[in-house]
RNA sequence: GCCUCUUUAGCUCAACGGCAGAGCAGCGGUAUCGUAAACCGUCGAUGUCAGUUCAAUUCUGACAAGAGGCUCCA
């Protein structure tokens, strides 16, 4: 596995060099910046000088690459000195910046040359590009800031991919096309789940009846599961005084708040998070150690000023509803509470059949320890607690060094959408700072006041993003317990209507979401329509069913079961709903 | 916010510097049918605002909305 990954990386990194050469030949004056191999292919950044390129130029560039390729029989490597390197790349300001940086870090400076194109480069190439690099395709262009910083110049990035064989390349491209069909924005429209209306505003999704039914079903189920685990639910308003966020520090540190508004003589904001509200509830009376852990939960809508270019379907919105909770705990309870949170999270993921996820544990940046508040001992313990918890739960995890918030480390679950982009769902953050800011304390066994620790937890993350991911995960074919319409009854002819209506009433009373499709269309058309709507079950009713008091069942995959007894059918449905499969 | 691209009917797509065309959906009929599309009729559109032009949906610009992307560092 390791070896094939290495080879794929070499292949793609080599291909990025080929792309650089082709673009530089076609567009004199352009400079290549960096061109790494990435998970699904590679990219190469360019400063295009006075030129600009778009996706319509890709075929031309690809043709140039194929023209150059036969002359690339091997890469020549050389180690060069700082002075040599600066001389060799004097025309390219990006390479010069890299040379100076690498040299400053004491790294070796390496160049490669496949024959006619000298580039600064780390190692990792194929042996014979002319033979191995044949199965590539340029995919898209994009703007990308030099080194990812908005302060730098925006470069032109070209994305492409490369595989060892044409078959693998073709399979990848087909798979990408298939993935687009699962896009939650497309399915959301086709299945009438949610709406993004320009009149309401970008990032402010509206849930249609079917979408809201699914969301509410998840919400009700999760609320029950949390109550079983000792969470107490609250409700807090969507607007609060700015001063509240000044006290929490968000006003100073958090950049996604909407502009404040004035009410009477005070300044108010739409709430971007619920923590300070829940802290008010905690502080409403003196707390005893016997009250802890105190678990306050809220399915709370918050408002965040996400950048216009970042807003994306349901995955990044400006009005989102978190399944938020704040756990007020003693420091000795950290490990066990994190265990409980991970247990619940894994139970949720298992219920929905999520398998491809990993945990990211965000820790301090060892280079700048002064950035963090809360005491070294606390941090050491907390980071260890998170890693230990991940290990205890056999979670695939990695450390995000330097990614912790200033107030504490955290553990997040990362999942991928249909197009392979990674999103954070679950988050569990330890916090030692807000207890200081808000004096969140309790009286211990000895009658003395101690500071609580706070765990900020959102198990789904937000209902919105989770729903978006869920739509793509199921490709719109929701399991029975979530399906907005669980069963459609299709009478073959008008004379079967009465039987069907009675049956619908019966099943509805038993708790099944059932509809009757008696539109003036042939049965085949109605089967097709409901299949396209991904209704889990259709019940076909004709003379035979009416006479035998039974039902003919067809599922959305086309599997038919004829002559099913009504009582058997009903209990099968109810059982499937109960088991959430 | 920035880069590139996109915007024609509810949906999917066509055409064109000179009357905007179809399928599906909707609506009105006819047909009442055995497991993924019955038939006939009918309604309906060039994102917004400017500019160029005899003429703009088409060309140009601004705005709006949408898509992909913005360190998985030589």
Residue-level pLDDT at A3: 56
- Nucleic strand B under 7 Å from the C-beta of A531: yes
3-state secondary structure of A272: coil
Instruction: Provide mean pLDDT across the span A561-576.
Output: 96
Q: Which ipTM score applies to this complex? A: 0.94
Instruction: Provide mean pLDDT across the span A332-361.
Output: 94
Q: Does the active-site annotation cover A456?
A: yes
Q: Which nucleotide is nearest to A105 (CA to C1')?
A: B74
- Nucleic strand B under 7 Å from the C-beta of A490: no
Taking only the tens place, the pLDDT of each residue in A443-458 is 999 999 999 999 999 9
Percent of chain A with pLDDT over 70: 99
Q: Is the pTM of this model over 0.80?
A: yes
Taking only the tens place, the pLDDT of each residue in A5-53 is 889 999 999 999 999 999 999 998 899 999 999 999 999 999 998 888 8
Taking only the tens place, the pLDDT of each residue in A494-517 is 999 999 999 999 999 999 999 999
- Nucleic strand B under 7 Å from the C-beta of A525: yes
Our measurement of CA A521 to C1' B24, in angstroms, reads: 14
Nucleotides of strand B lying closer than 7 angstroms to a protein CB: 1-5, 11, 25-26, 29-38, 64-74
Instruction: Provide mean pLDDT across the span A280-290.
Output: 96
Cβ atoms of residues A132 and A164 within 8 Å: yes
User: A15, A121, A275, A550: which is the annotated catalytic residue?
Assistant: A275
Helices A376-392 and A334-352, axial angle in degrees (round to 10): 40
Q: Is the pLDDT of residue A414 over 50?
A: yes
Paired residues of A301 in beta bridges: A321
Taking only the tens place, the pLDDT of each residue in A145-178 is 999 999 999 999 999 999 999 999 999 999 999 9
Cβ atoms of residues A527 and A554 within 8 Å: yes
Taking only the tens place, the pLDDT of each residue in A45-77 is 999 988 888 888 999 999 999 999 999 998 988
pLDDT tier at A250, thresholds 50, 70, 90: confident
- Nucleic strand B under 7 Å from the C-beta of A549: no
- Average pLDDT over chain A reads 93
- Nucleic strand B under 7 Å from the C-beta of A79: no
Percent of chain A with pLDDT over 90: 80
Residue-level pLDDT at A27: 92
pLDDT tier at A418, thresholds 50, 70, 90: confident
User: Which of chain A's residues 356-415 bind strand B, using a 7 Å CB cutoff?
Assistant: none
Q: Does the active-site annotation cover A304?
A: yes
Alpha helices in A229-363 (DSSP H): 242-248, 250-253, 275-282, 334-352
Q: Which nucleotide is nearest to A547 (CA to C1')?
A: B34
Cβ atoms of residues A15 and A31 within 8 Å: no
- Nucleic strand B under 7 Å from the C-beta of A313: yes
Residue-level pLDDT at A2: 40
Residue-level pLDDT at A1: 36
Taking only the tens place, the pLDDT of each residue in A348-382 is 999 999 998 999 999 988 777 777 877 788 888 88
The pair of structure tokens assigned to A159 is 């994305």
Our measurement of CA A268 to C1' B19, in angstroms, reads: 57
Q: Is the pLDDT of residue A253 over 90?
A: no
Q: Is A563 left (phi over 0), alpha (psi -120 to 50) or beta?
A: left
- Nucleic strand B under 7 Å from the C-beta of A544: yes
Cβ atoms of residues A381 and A335 within 8 Å: no
Taking only the tens place, the pLDDT of each residue in A462-491 is 999 999 999 999 999 999 999 999 999 999
Report in angstroms the alpha-carbon separations of A42 from A3, A110, A153: 18, 20, 21
């Amino acid at each position: 596995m390791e070896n094939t990954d290495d080879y794929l990386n070499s292949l793609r990194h080599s291909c990025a060099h080929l792309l650089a050469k082709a673009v530089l030949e076609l567009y004199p004056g352009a400079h290549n910046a960096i061109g790494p191999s990435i998970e699904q292919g590679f990219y190469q950044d360019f400063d295009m000088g006075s030129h600009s390129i778009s996706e319509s130029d890709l075929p031309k560039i690809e043709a140039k690459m194929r023209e150059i390729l036969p002359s690339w029989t091997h890469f020549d490597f050389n180690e060069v000195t700082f002075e040599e390197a600066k001389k060799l790349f004097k025309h390219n300001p990006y390479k010069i910046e890299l040379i100076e940086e690498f040299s400053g870090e004491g790294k070796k400076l390496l160049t490669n040359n496949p024959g006619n194109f000298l580039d600064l480069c780390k190692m990792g190439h194929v042996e014979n590009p002319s033979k191995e690099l044949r199965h590539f395709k340029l995919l898209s262009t994009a703007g990308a800031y030099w080194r990812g910083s908005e302060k730098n110049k925006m470069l032109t990035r070209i994305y492409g991919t490369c595989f060892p064989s044409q078959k693998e390349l073709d399979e990848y491209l087909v798979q990408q096309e298939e993935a687009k069909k699962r896009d939650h924005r497309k399915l959301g429209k086709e299945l009438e789940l949610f709406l993004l209306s320009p009149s309401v505003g970008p990032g402010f999704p509206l849930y249609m009846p079917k979408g809201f039914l699914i969301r509410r079903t998840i919400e009700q189920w999760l609320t029950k599961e949390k109550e079983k685990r000792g969470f107490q639910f609250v409700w807090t308003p969507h607007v609060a005084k700015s001063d509240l966020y000044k006290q929490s520090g968000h006003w100073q540190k958090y950049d996604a708040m909407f502009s404040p508004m004035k009410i009477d003589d005070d300044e108010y904001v739409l709430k971007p998070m619920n923590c300070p509200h829940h802290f008010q509830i905690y502080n409403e009376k003196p707390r005893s150690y016997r009250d802890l852990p105190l678990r306050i939960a809220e399915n709370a809508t918050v408002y965040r000023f996400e950048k216009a270019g970042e807003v994306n379907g349901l995955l990044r919105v400006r009005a989102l509803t978190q399944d938020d909770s704040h756990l007020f705990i003693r420091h000795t309870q950290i490990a066990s509470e994190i265990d409980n949170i991970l247990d619940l999270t894994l139970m949720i993921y298992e219920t929905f059949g999520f398998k491809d996820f990993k945990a990211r544990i965000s820790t301090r940046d060892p280079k700048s320890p002064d950035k963090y508040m809360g005491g070294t001992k606390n941090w050491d313990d907390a980071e260890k607690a998170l890693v230990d918890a991940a290990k205890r739960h056999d979670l695939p995890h990695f450390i995000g060094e330097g990614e912790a918030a200033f107030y504490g480390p955290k553990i997040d679950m990362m999942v991928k959408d249909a197009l392979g982009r990674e999103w954070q769902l679950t988050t569990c953050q330890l916090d030692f700072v807000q207890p200081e800011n808000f004096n969140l304390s309790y009286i211990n066994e000895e009658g003395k006041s101690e500071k609580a620790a706070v765990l900020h937890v959102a198990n789904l993350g937000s209902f919105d993003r989770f729903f978006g991911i869920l739509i793509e995960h199921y490709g719109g074919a929701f399991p029975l317990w979530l399906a907005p319409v669980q069963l459609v009854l299709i009478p073959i002819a008008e004379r079967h209507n009465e039987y069907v209506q009675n049956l619908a009433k019966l099943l509805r009373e038993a708790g099944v979401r059932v509809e009757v499709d008696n539109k003036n269309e042939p049965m085949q058309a109605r089967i097709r329509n409901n299949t396209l709507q991904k209704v889990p079950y259709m019940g076909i009713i004709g003379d035979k069913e009416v006479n035998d008091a039974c039902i003919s069942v067809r599922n959305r995959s086309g599997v038919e079961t004829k002559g099913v007894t009504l009582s058997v059918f009903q209990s099968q449905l109810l059982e499937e709903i109960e088991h959430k499969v």
